[in-house]
Structure formats: C-alpha cells, structure tokens
DNA sequence: TAAAAATAATGGAATAACTCCAGAATTTGA
DNA sequence: TCAAATTCTGGAGTTATTCCATTATTTTTA
C-alpha cells in the first residue's frame, strides 16, 4: 500500500493536491529544502504559499511519512526514506547530502556506551567532510577531533 | 599548558578579559548557549554585548579551543571538551545535553559503510531520547526509525 | 441538499538566532 | 609615541521558521 493518497487517508489526514505534490517532490528530490519544495510544487500544480509548504511538511513529518534532518548551518532538509537504517554524509563545501547505510549494520544503533538513564529512541549520525568534487579544490578546514 | 591566557597567546589571539571570561564560562557550563554565556560573563566582568560574545565564541571555535554543536530546534551550544572522542545524548523534552563516550571505542569513528568518495573528517553522533526525569512524565513521541 | 462543523490554505506580521557593517576604543609594536 | 592592527559596540539586515486571523474548502449532520 504505497499509494500516497492511501497513506494519507489511513492516517486520517485529508488528501489534498498540495500534500500529494509535496510528498511527490520530497520523494523525487531527497534532502530537499522547504524553499525548493515550494518551487517544485509550484511547477507541478501552479501555486502554493511557502507557509502551506511548511504546514504540509510538518503534517507529513509528524505522521512519519517523511523525515526532517537539520544539519548545522543549513536549512532543514526532508527525505522520504523513513523507517530504515541510514545516516548522512554532508559536504562542508557545497552542502551536498548523500545517504549512507549504518556502519553498525542493519540493527538500529541505539546503544550508547553509557546511556546515563536516557531512554534513547534515535541515533542521528552525520558524517562531515568534503565530497569528491570539492575535496581537490579546497584544503581541509578541520582536524579530526571527533569520533 | 592549560593556562587559558597562554592558549590564546600561542595562537596569536589577543588575550582579553572578555575572551578569558567566555572561555571560563564555557568550561564551567558545558553545552551552554550564546545567550547564557552572555549572562554569565556579565555576572563575572560587568558588561559585554551579545555580539561580542558571538565574536569571542567564533574565535575560540575557529582555533579549536571550544566546540560548537547545533542540535535541531535548539540554539547552538558550546563546550570545551575538544579533541577527544565523545558524542551527545539529548533529551527531546527538556533539552538537557550530556556527553557520552563513543560506542565504537576510542578510535574516531570516521569510517562510514560506504563513503561515496567523500573525505570524512568528523562523525557527529546525537542520541535522541528522554532523560531519566522526563521519561516517566511524557509518552514516547517517536518510533525507533533510525539506526 | 443545505446549513453547520471541521479542516486547510493564505498573507502578513512576528520571532529566534545569527551575521554584517561602520565607527569608536583599545592594544600592540616599530 | 604614533601609526597600524585588533577588538568591541550598537544598529540594521538576514534567514528560516512560526504564529495568527481570515478566508476557502471539505466533510458531516439534519
């Protein structure tokens, strides 16, 4: 049952052209920003306010249909790969984001060395570096100081 | 040579009361925000503009004396534990941040399953959940959908 | 099928967290 | 000690996002 409209309906969310378009855009352009979604949706269905894009994204995120990632010094990004076990690799220079499978394997890596009494529900991993295009063009700007 | 003034001087950074105070505050209150630093510094040395706090923090970060972490939906936070191998555990409810050692061990976990040609220099890991105080008071609001 | 209730979409204003800029003050160093 | 460099300040500007009041649309009920 991966029909988008059906996905919405079964969750009691009204099916609207805007929401379907937003969902479609996020699916076709993973790691896209709210702004970019607005533009793409406009190209598809004519008009949508930026606020409505934020609304639609918020609804989809809260229902777990899409995921929001918010890397430092970048607007929030959205992707429709949810419920699987993957992380992100981000280029410090051009900001490009790519998916990587979890190094630990397919089991969620939810076990910290010492959880300090926290009940952990997500491990968010971002690998920072420079992508194949940017690496030769600029010097490394950070020492390896984190593991 | 952990004398703060010396640390600044050897890097060619002018030693000022403001910078020393900012460094001291970040050291004594890890995971603090720029706002909180400003308040604490004012309590210590009288007055400082928020902008100067940002300036001082930026200088200290760029010299690697402190580290900036920027969790989603939170202002940037600063800590003076740098160059070691640790990650963060953040409570979704109250925002409390605590340090955790890297689950992988003391070697920096810079190896992604597939680095896609990226030259990785940092692996940023944030464990999200609810702290011991908040867990009993509110229901979990997220499925385990990430590893 | 029309009125009432619920839900969505809109524009505009507001907000948080920074960043940028030009000038004043202070510090350094020849 | 005087010029050059650096630092500090207030104010304005920016970006990404949220809030709010109103209007439009959709769904439910009578």
- For residue range B71-103, list pLDDT tens digits in order: 998 999 999 999 887 899 999 888 999 998 876
Contact yes or no for A100 and B120 at CB 8 A: no
Q: How many CB atoms lie within 10 A of CB B45?
A: 14
What are the chain A neighbours of B136 within 8 Å (beta carbons)? none
Does strand D come within 7 Å of the CB of A15? yes
Distance B14 CA to C30 C1' (A): 19
Interatomic CA distance for residues A39 and A42, integer angstroms: 5
Does strand C come within 7 Å of the CB of B10? no
Full-model pTM: 0.87
- For residue range B30-69, list pLDDT tens digits in order: 999 999 999 999 988 888 999 999 999 999 998 889 999 9
Interatomic CA distance for residues A41 and A34, integer angstroms: 10
B22: burial class by Cβ within 10 Å (0-12, 13-18, 19+)?
buried
- Integer distance in angstroms from the first to the last C-alpha of chain A? 40
What are the chain B neighbours of A72 within 8 Å (beta carbons)? 68-70, 76
- For residue range A70-121, list pLDDT tens digits in order: 999 899 999 999 988 789 999 988 899 999 887 665 445 666 667 788 998 8
How many residues comprise chain B?
A: 147
B89: burial class by Cβ within 10 Å (0-12, 13-18, 19+)?
buried
Interatomic CA distance for residues A68 and A33, integer angstroms: 9
Among the partner residues A67, A109, A144, nearest to B122 by beta-carbon distance: A144
């Amino acid at each position: 049952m991966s029909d988008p409209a059906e996905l919405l309906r079964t969750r009691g969310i009204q099916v609207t052209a805007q929401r379907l378009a937003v969902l479609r855009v996020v699916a076709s352009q993973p790691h896209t920003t709210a702004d970019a979604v607005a533009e793409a949706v406009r190209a598809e269905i004519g008009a949508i306010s930026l606020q409505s894009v934020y609304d639609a994204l918020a609804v989809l995120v809260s229902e777990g249909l899409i995921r929001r990632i918010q890397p430092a010094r970048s607007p929030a990004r959205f992707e429709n790969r949810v419920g699987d076990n993957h992380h992100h690799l981000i280029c410090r220079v051009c900001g490009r984001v790519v998916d990587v499978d979890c190094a630990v394997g397919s089991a969620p890596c939810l076990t910290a060395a010492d959880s300090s009494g926290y009940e952990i529900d997500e491990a968010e991993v971002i690998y920072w570096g420079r992508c194949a295009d940017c690496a030769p063009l600029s010097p490394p700007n950070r020492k390896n100081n984190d593991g």
